[in-house]
């Protein structure tokens, strides 16, 4: 076997100082606006799709239990109590 001495460095001992980002207006504002611009198409798509939503209200009036009702021209089995 060959005995090889490994250099005892900070890198090999994992004792390097941690990288700490410096938050400045020059870094934060462009990132903020870039992320905002990326979400504009998503917001427009949600707005358009939510404007196309319609509510369907079916008023069903039954005289007797198990009578077939007509709701907006569609025959439904009515379960009135």
Please state the domain count of the chain: 1
Does a structural domain hold residue 40? yes
Residues in the chain: 81
**Structural domain for 66, as ranges:** 29-77
* Beta-carbon count within 10 A of 43 CB: 10
Provide the β-strand partners of residue 65.
none
Q: The pTM is what?
A: 0.42
Does a structural domain hold residue 71? yes
Q: Residue 20's pLDDT is what? A: 84
Distance, CA of 51 to CA of 54 (rounded, Å):
8
User: For residue range 10-42, what is the model confidence (pLDDT) as tens digits?
Assistant: 877 788 888 888 889 999 999 999 999 999 999
């Amino acid at each position: 076997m060959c005995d090889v001495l490994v250099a005892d460095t900070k890198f090999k001992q994992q004792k390097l100082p941690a990288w700490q980002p410096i938050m400045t207006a020059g870094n934060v504002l462009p990132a903020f606006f870039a992320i905002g611009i990326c979400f504009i198409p998503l917001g427009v798509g949600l707005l358009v799709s939510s404007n196309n939503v319609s509510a369907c209200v079916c008023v069903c009036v039954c005289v007797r239990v198990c009578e077939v009702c007509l709701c907006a021209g569609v025959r439904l089995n009515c379960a009135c109590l």
